Structure 1
Amino acid sequence: MKDLKPRKGAAYLQRLIAEGEHEHQDFKYSVSDARKIARSVSAFANNSGGRLLIGVKDNGVIAGVRNEEDLYVVETAAAIYCRPPQDVAFTAYRAEGGEVVFVAEIAESAAKPVMVAESDGSLRAYYRVNDENIAASPLMVESWNRQRQPSDGPLRLTPAETLLLRRIADGYNPTIDDYMRLAHCSRRSAMESASHLLAIGVITLRHDGHQWHLALPPSTP
């Protein structure tokens, strides 16, 4: 990435910053840690995409980027530490005070899960929840892997899956441990049943700030 020429965008930047940090936007004052940035890329790619505003402090103050090295760090994060590698689209905007802000756009991945190569050699997926990058539930990762497999044919639900759907429809949002107790089954069986329902889109996962719960997907208007 060379010679990214900033364009006028003071009003646009102010609109973005006014939104604050949220499910699809994160402020980055500096990007010196490529692996940490890779977690943001993974979190956005495993959700429905998002953007990094580089050169903006957590409180929304525009500090500006120091040089284009920040772009190389993000590119390294997406290409080297993400599995599979992710594309990032960069645009530079000049703020009212002359500072330059890089907007890095990360698209939703068509090949989830997007994992991060951690320093201990492990691979871990992340998911964006509100303004945080949360470690994706193993159940979520398993459901993504199932989505990439060929269809099993006509939809058939097991008694345990039917039980889970009925309880969720009644307003009960269990964790995977709750579901194990409800269905009197092993963790492996509970994971298989829940990941199947997640993969076909009839249930979803919601994070309450502490743990993941099984729930009905948001209703569409």
Structure 2
Amino acid sequence: MNSKGAPSNHPRQLDQIQGTEFDLNRMIKEGEHQKQDFKFRIDSSQKIAKTLCAFANTDGGKLLIGVKDNGRLAGIDPEEEFYMIDGAANIYCKPAIEFYSTVYSAEDKLILEIEVPPSINRPHFAKTEDQKWIAYVRQNDENFMANGVLLSYLRDKTPKSERKNLIAYGDHERMLFDYLSENEEISLSKFSKIAKIPIRKAEKTLALFIKWEIINWKATEAGIRFSLVG
């Protein structure tokens, strides 16, 4: 069992309900990945807000606080870490992030699990040190800034059944598919250029095709790139 951290204007207190050591060991053996991150401790609510938003904007995920990068247990004070997470979720995330918490005891140490479900209120934005609100997404074990295409995709709340008949394969879409049939990937700016359409229109087209699982996105050192599914 666990406690829930719902968006609130009032600080919450951590319920001291413990999970099993078996479950903790199972999660640690998985290592860090798309839906799991290890944290030795939380030093800044503002910095951890980026990870909370990335989880909420993508597939959800878990933070194991009190666990080193190599999987060794360090232990923490669950109350202090919960306070930092609660501040991050409610002050440095917009809209506020819902999360659940579970306390584990192993090797005479306490570990705090924070679980963030995929959000229906996405996109969520994290407040940066220079006071900007930035949306992040999660890929593998890293967080990346969402570009215009991903923001358009995250903002689209229309059910697939209501959008299917809107997909029209015109000249612009054929240009995209022709390019991707000969090239592994394409950027937003490249698609806008070859199709000779405004960036905003290119964003919406790519976002729609992500929604319909026609193309995938991936973050690279050069930015967000798109490729055909399959």
Report TM bin, short chain.
0.7 to 0.9
2:97 maps to 1:86? yes
Contact 1:6/1:100 (CA < 8 Å) preserved in 2? no
Q: Which residue pairs with 2:18 in the alignment?
A: 7
Q: 1:131 aligns with which of 141, 150, 154?
A: 141
Q: 2:120 aligns with which of 102, 107, 110?
A: 110
Contact 2:78/2:110 (CA < 8 Å) preserved in 1? no
TM-score (norm 2): 0.83
Q: In structure 2, what is the Cα distance between the partners aligned to 1:152 and 1:133?
A: 29
Distance apart, 1:82 and its partner CA: 1.1
Query: Where does the alignment leave 5 or more consecutive residues of structure 1 unmatched?
Result: none
Distance apart, 1:169 and its partner CA: 5.0
Q: In structure 2, what is the Cα distance between the partners aligned to 1:67 and 1:18?
A: 21
Q: Which residue pairs with 2:83 in the alignment?
A: 72
Q: In structure 1, what is the Cα distance between the partners aligned to 2:152 and 2:87?
A: 27
Aligned identity (percent) is 30
CA deviation map 1:19-66 (0-9, x unaligned): 111100001111121111111110101111100001111121101113
Moved more, 67-76 or 149-158: 149-158
Task: Classify the secondary structure of the residue corresponding to 1:195.
Answer: helix
2:223 maps to 1:208? no
Distance apart, 1:133 and its partner CA: 1.1
Distance apart, 1:3 and its partner CA: 5.2
Moved more, 85-94 or 118-127: 118-127
Q: How does 1:7-156 map to 2 (within 5 A)?
A: 7=18, 9-95=20-106, 97-145=107-155, 147-148=156-157, 154-155=165-166, 156=168
Task: Classify the secondary structure of the residue corresponding to 2:165.
Answer: coil
CA deviation map 1:137-193 (0-9, x unaligned): 221012222x13695783224320232134335563111122233323343342233
Contact 1:46/1:109 (CA < 8 Å) preserved in 2? yes
Q: 1:158 aligns with which of 163, 170, 178?
A: 170
Moved more, 116-125 or 38-47: 116-125
Contact 1:144/1:199 (CA < 8 Å) preserved in 2? no
Query: Where does the alignment leave 5 or more consecutive residues of structure 2 unmatched?
Result: 1-11
TM-score (norm 1): 0.86
What is the root-mean-square deviation of aligned Cα atoms in Å?
2.3
2:204 maps to 1:196? no
Q: Which residue pairs with 2:9 in the alignment?
A: none
Q: In structure 1, what is the Cα distance between the partners aligned to 2:82 and 2:102?
A: 10
Q: In structure 1, what is the Cα distance between the partners aligned to 2:17 and 2:32?
A: 23
Q: Which residue pairs with 1:185 in the alignment?
A: 197
Distance apart, 1:132 and its partner CA: 0.9
